[in-house]
Structure 1
Amino acid sequence: MARLKQPPRVSAAAESSPQPSSSHASDFFHPAADDQAAIEQLHTESLATDAPPLPPSPAVFIGAELLNAARIDHRRNSPVIDMARKNRAGKLKRASLIPESARTNLAVRGDVYEIELSPEKGNYALPEKVNKKPLKIVKKKPHALAKLRPAEDLASTHPDMRSSPPQVAPVGSDSIAIDTVTEEILSSKANSHANAPGNVRIEESLDNGKPRCTAVFYKYDKITGPAYRQCLRPGTGQTDDGFRCGIHLGKPPVVRCGEMAISDNVTTQCYRAAAKVTANGPRCPTCIEQQGYETTPRDKRKSAPIHQEDQPTKIQRRKSEPAGKPTSSEKTKNQVRDLQEESSNPAPARKRGRPQKDGSIASTELNHQLPTRTHKSGSRPTISQEETGRVGQLPESIDTVFSFLDLEEREGTCQTKRARKILHVCERYCANFQDDTHSIDAVTQNAMKIQEALQQTPKYYSTEIGKKHQLAFKSDAYSFVFRALTLYLRDLHDWLVKTYESATESLESLRVIAPLMQEILAFNDAIRQWHVTVPQRQKGDRVVKDVQSRLITPLRRVSQSLSVRLSQLQEGEERCKQYEKMERRMKERRDAQSEQIRAIEAMEERKKRWQDLHIVRMQCEPDVYRRRKLFHTRFEDLVERDANGVIFERLPIFKPRSTPPHSQVSELADEVEWTEDEETAVLEGLQYCAGPRVFEKIFKTYCDPRSSHSRGGDLRNRSVAEIISKARWIRSTMLTLRQESGEPVEEWVTGIPILP
């Protein structure tokens, strides 16, 4: 029987009955008394009604969840011994005889029905700190209209009078009244970014809500090509065009080089990034060096409005300072040298026929013509009408280059030996043009010698010994050598025009004059790299400036156009050569086909002649039985073939053939034995029946027994192949005997046909 937790209650009858006396106390310990008490308790419970259990309170659920959470956290952080237990997430621990962990003493057994302690008081206490990671404090992002506060402040200082009061939306409508000032500000911002270079879509904020730099810079990538991109840095300062980062506050963004090139009627723009601003717009160092653009501090100061809106007031104030102090970070060594040469020549010399005020007026007009930008306009490097006109106004003739000779010739002599050598060579070759017997080959050789001299000179002065004389030679080059080269170039041009009627449309003339121009430009580019400055002979001397602007710049454009024309003419000549080669190849193919057709026709004709001879021979034999013995020799069996079975023919090459070629027909004459009468009949027939139809006549005269000739029927037993082979043998033998004895050969011998 199960053990009761509480003693059984005493019934009412028992309570009302008197207590037993002490005499009956010994009966309480009797087993029958315990059975009676149990029976009474069961009877009482059976009479009681079963009431439905009450639902658990919410506190019970909260306590169970806390207990489960504590147990799960304990299992995750428990040692390896606890990992062997089953992980039952969200369930209570199964009741067991071991209420505590395995580290407790197993000999001490507790009560099975003992309630475990609360998680907050026992070994499973919850940690004091729930979340060990620090919380991330996120600030509220500013609204998009917060960036418009400065503009609103400016507008608030000068309020505009409204023409009419703002309209109020009626009650119950979904419309919202929007201020017109905000709309105007948003539209102005949209219009300011509409003209961004390369149609870049300007984003005014970053992902974290901070303002983004609105500067757009140019970058060239070999994979993606040229493109404009917006700066990815956050904006630290605000300008008229929007926020700018610390880098673009100090300097304008990079733009694309505006140099345009024309090739095959196609205009292309340089893909490099511009480094300097010249009188013709932004240019890269390569185009400045090739085209001979010059950039003075005044030009830079005048061309500053290209990026003026991208710079704050402090930067503009810095640009107003004198430009005679260039920084090392903005100019390379070559640029500093060019600025020193140009600054040392502020005005042309009076004796060169150019007043000083003309230069200032020209520079002022040039500065007024520089492309400027309006307020809040983008820095997109588009092709302006002035640049398009300048590209279209390339000199079509070489007369622009020869205008350099209009300047007054400089007095003095060359300081270096190599400069004097170039001068003497040019003078001597110029005098050769006066000779009417001068050929194009001699002119080409003279031009090549001048090119070799121009190539070797920079190499010599690049050595350790030659570097000491670079200044002297550079002075001689700009003072005398370029003038002598221009004189030779003009005389060469006049001689080519006189000889070929055009020096720019003739391929022979362009092959002479175009390489010479290119070599002169390469010579100028080489000596410009020297780190020496040509001194001035007097104040306002423009020796370097005149050569660069009056000679090198137009010569470079003329050389480029002539090179394009030369390549076009060379391509045309190459196409003509290819066409002639193709025509010659087709003609050879047609001739080969014609020769093959003639050979086939000749073979067919010989084959037909061979068949006709057999027919005539059969007709000359009246006996049918004998006619069967005159077998027909196939023509294909008598034709010579090589080891591969291809038919070939023996032809005379060095001299006419004296003997007939080897043939299988001649082998038959050696195998068959002939009688004297038969040989005499063949020899007599070849003499008296000579002609193109000699064998037909021999067959009718000497093979037919019905013939009236005295020797008729002597060759009745011989076939066509045997008679023809004997005739070939007689022909070759007679020719050999006549050649050995030196006697003339009879006509009937040479007239014997060679068959088949």
Structure 2
Amino acid sequence: MSSEDEKHSRSHTGSELDRIMEFLDTGARDGDCQTAEGKNLKRYCRRATDLLGDQDVAPEHVLRALDKIRKKSREISAIDDEQLRKDLKADLYGYGFHTFGLLTVSLFDWTAQTYSKPEESIPALQMICGVIDGVVTLKNTVASWKMKLPQRFKGDRLIKDVDETLVVPLRKLSTSLRGKLRYLEELEQQKRSREQRLAEHQRLEAEKETRENFRALEALRKKRWINLHVARKAVEPDIRRAWKLNAPSLPPLDLEERDANGEPFQRLEVFSKRSTPPVPPCSPLKGPEWPEEAMVALISGLEAYAGPFVFERIFKKYCKPGGSLRNYSVLDLASKAADFKARMIRDFGKHNAIWVKRVPSSWEEVPE
């Protein structure tokens, strides 16, 4: 909406409110409603008007007050007793619509103070349009009750005043403000749609990146798996032994998160409940005990060759014919190395030597 359109809109709204103010100045009458329904509706309107006089009142309190008025108006519209309708028609034209006019003006004033630009605010317009439409709907309902006003208003241009100086301006305001409200709601819907599309795009991109990362990781794992087995077979001259050292199928990726010591752990949100039992201080050590000679050779190799090629160098040193580790496969050696590290961490914690901390926690890990 251009600034020129906004200026025209405010001018239009102001002129219609001026006409309603004219109705309020000339439409006040002595006396009070005769029906309990009319008195209750008038009381609800006055309470809401008083509430709107407090600029610090929370919008939700205003909404509750307006909702009571809306419910009471619906109750009145549903009345089918002819005499009660006649008395209510007199109450509403004589006093009720005047109170509605005061409420409408007060609501405009309150929204102007509460919202910087009420005619550009969806909540403000929803409240205003709700009140205006409620008044117009109730007036249409009462007008459909084909009965004359009682003698106490004889000669009074009561109906004409309500129609010309209250309802007509309200109808014009409703048409104008409803158009703005639809425009703003469409903009809001378009914004939400853009945000949803963006969120969906980001989700798909994140899933794509996850798949690509997974494929890249699997490629690295496969390469590492094959290279270790090739290196292990390279030091075994016996064909039958070498055949047994062929790389089996690539083990599935272990997605469980592990710390620097190879221990699994679960990330926890603050104050949330665990979805799994707590991880024990150390994973159970796997596999049967090795002969002392083999264990000494493995530990010596882990210490002497600590680094990115620790297994390859252990193969060359200890897996040749006559070597202490000739009978062990890649997985045998990697698993026992991980068990040894877990044992050392469990027993000595941070007091372990640097080379112990560099022992791979699995065959997949490439130590620095």
- TM class, shorter-length: 0.7 to 0.9
Cα shift at 1:701: 4.0
Aligned equivalent of 1:499: 114
Aligned equivalent of 2:89: 474
Q: 1:754 aligns with which of 341, 362, 365?
A: 362
* TM-score after normalising by structure 2: 0.77
> How well do the aligned residues superpose, as a CA RMSD in angstroms?
3.4
Q: 1:487 aligns with which of 102, 107, 110?
A: 102
Q: 1:716 aligns with which of 326, 333, 337?
A: 326
Q: 2:144 aligns with which of 522, 529, 550?
A: 529
Q: Quick one: structure 1 residues 750 and 507, their matched pair in 2 at CA, closer, same or farther if it must change by over 3 Å?
A: farther
Cα shift at 1:480: 0.9
Mapped to 1, the partners of 2:363 and 2:65 lie a distance apart of: 67
Cα shift at 1:456: 1.1
Structure showing the higher helix proportion among its residues: 2
Q: Give the number of equivalent residue pairs.
A: 331
Aligned equivalent of 2:319: 703
Mapped to 2, the partners of 1:543 and 1:473 lie a distance apart of: 14
Cα shift at 1:745: 7.1
Aligned equivalent of 1:129: none
Q: Please show how residues 522-561 of structure 1 align to structure 2 within 5 Å.
A: 522-535=137-150, 537=152, 540-561=155-176
- The amino acid that maps onto 1:608 is K
- The amino acid that maps onto 1:721 is L
SS of corresponding position for 2:148: coil
Matched, 1:410 2:29: yes
Matched, 1:601 2:219: no
Conserved 8 A contact 2:335-2:362: no
Cα shift at 1:638: 2.7
- The amino acid that maps onto 2:203 is E
Q: Please show how residues 223-622 of structure 1 align to structure 2 within 5 Å.
A: 395-397=12-14, 398-399=16-17, 400-459=19-78, 461-463=79-81, 467-535=82-150, 537=152, 540-617=155-232, 621=235
Aligned equivalent of 1:388: none
1:104-138 deviation line (CA, Å, top 9, x unaligned): xxxxxxxxxxxxxxxxxxxxxxxxxxxxxxxxxxx
- The amino acid that maps onto 2:59 is I
Which structure has more relative contact order (CA 8 Å, sep 6+)? It is 2
Q: 1:655 aligns with which of 266, 269, 275?
A: 266
Cα shift at 1:615: 4.5
Mapped to 2, the partners of 1:409 and 1:674 lie a distance apart of: 104
1:211-247 deviation line (CA, Å, top 9, x unaligned): xxxxxxxxxxxxxxxxxxxxxxxxxxxxxxxxxxxxx
SS of corresponding position for 2:333: helix
Mapped to 2, the partners of 1:627 and 1:682 lie a distance apart of: 24
Conserved 8 A contact 1:660-1:754: no
In structure 2, stretches of 5+ residues that fail to align are: 1-10, 258-263, 268-278
Mapped to 2, the partners of 1:408 and 1:529 lie a distance apart of: 22
Conserved 8 A contact 1:617-1:720: yes
Q: Quick one: structure 1 residues 539 and 728, their matched pair in 2 at CA, closer, same or farther if it must change by over 3 Å?
A: closer
Q: Quick one: structure 1 residues 427 and 654, their matched pair in 2 at CA, closer, same or farther if it must change by over 3 Å?
A: farther
Matched, 1:639 2:254: no
Q: Quick one: structure 1 residues 746 and 688, their matched pair in 2 at CA, closer, same or farther if it must change by over 3 Å?
A: farther
Mapped to 1, the partners of 2:265 and 2:151 lie a distance apart of: 80
SS of corresponding position for 1:504: helix
Mapped to 1, the partners of 2:303 and 2:37 lie a distance apart of: 90
Conserved 8 A contact 1:474-1:534: yes
- The amino acid that maps onto 1:753 is S
Q: Quick one: structure 1 residues 616 and 634, their matched pair in 2 at CA, closer, same or farther if it must change by over 3 Å?
A: closer
SS of corresponding position for 2:119: coil
Mapped to 1, the partners of 2:237 and 2:312 lie a distance apart of: 20
Conserved 8 A contact 1:692-1:751: no
Q: Quick one: structure 1 residues 452 and 691, their matched pair in 2 at CA, closer, same or farther if it must change by over 3 Å?
A: farther
Aligned equivalent of 2:272: none
Q: Quick one: structure 1 residues 506 and 429, their matched pair in 2 at CA, closer, same or farther if it must change by over 3 Å?
A: same
SS of corresponding position for 1:531: coil
Q: Quick one: structure 1 residues 462 and 514, their matched pair in 2 at CA, closer, same or farther if it must change by over 3 Å?
A: same
Mapped to 2, the partners of 1:679 and 1:612 lie a distance apart of: 24
1:411-456 deviation line (CA, Å, top 9, x unaligned): 1122112222222222222222233431222222221111111111
Q: Quick one: structure 1 residues 493 and 417, their matched pair in 2 at CA, closer, same or farther if it must change by over 3 Å?
A: same
- The amino acid that maps onto 2:50 is A
Conserved 8 A contact 1:395-1:557: no
Conserved 8 A contact 1:395-1:554: no
Cα shift at 1:704: 5.6
Cα shift at 1:532: 2.1
1:69-98 deviation line (CA, Å, top 9, x unaligned): xxxxxxxxxxxxxxxxxxxxxxxxxxxxxx
Cα shift at 1:535: 3.0
Conserved 8 A contact 1:692-1:753: no
Conserved 8 A contact 1:415-1:472: yes
Conserved 8 A contact 2:229-2:247: no
SS of corresponding position for 1:532: coil
Mapped to 2, the partners of 1:450 and 1:611 lie a distance apart of: 78
SS of corresponding position for 2:76: helix
Mapped to 1, the partners of 2:196 and 2:221 lie a distance apart of: 37
SS of corresponding position for 1:601: helix
Q: Please show how residues 48-87 of structure 1 align to structure 2 within 5 Å.
A: none
Q: Please show how residues 72-151 of structure 1 align to structure 2 within 5 Å.
A: none
Mapped to 1, the partners of 2:359 and 2:63 lie a distance apart of: 62
SS of corresponding position for 1:638: coil
Conserved 8 A contact 1:633-1:721: no
Structure showing the higher strand proportion among its residues: 1
SS of corresponding position for 2:57: coil
Cα shift at 1:457: 1.6
Aligned equivalent of 1:265: none
Aligned equivalent of 2:5: none
1:339-371 deviation line (CA, Å, top 9, x unaligned): xxxxxxxxxxxxxxxxxxxxxxxxxxxxxxxxx
Q: Please show how residues 170-209 of structure 1 align to structure 2 within 5 Å.
A: none
Q: Quick one: structure 1 residues 695 and 476, their matched pair in 2 at CA, closer, same or farther if it must change by over 3 Å?
A: same
Cα shift at 1:755: 2.4
Conserved 8 A contact 1:630-1:719: no
Q: Quick one: structure 1 residues 751 and 422, their matched pair in 2 at CA, closer, same or farther if it must change by over 3 Å?
A: farther
Q: Quick one: structure 1 residues 745 and 702, their matched pair in 2 at CA, closer, same or farther if it must change by over 3 Å?
A: farther
Q: Quick one: structure 1 residues 536 and 589, their matched pair in 2 at CA, closer, same or farther if it must change by over 3 Å?
A: same
Aligned equivalent of 1:629: 242
Aligned equivalent of 1:680: 296
Mapped to 1, the partners of 2:265 and 2:47 lie a distance apart of: 55
Q: Quick one: structure 1 residues 654 and 714, their matched pair in 2 at CA, closer, same or farther if it must change by over 3 Å?
A: closer
Conserved 8 A contact 1:478-1:547: yes
Q: Quick one: structure 1 residues 660 and 577, their matched pair in 2 at CA, closer, same or farther if it must change by over 3 Å?
A: farther
Cα shift at 1:534: 0.9
1:547-602 deviation line (CA, Å, top 9, x unaligned): 01111122122212322222222222112111111110110100111111111111
Cα shift at 1:693: 4.2
Aligned equivalent of 2:275: none
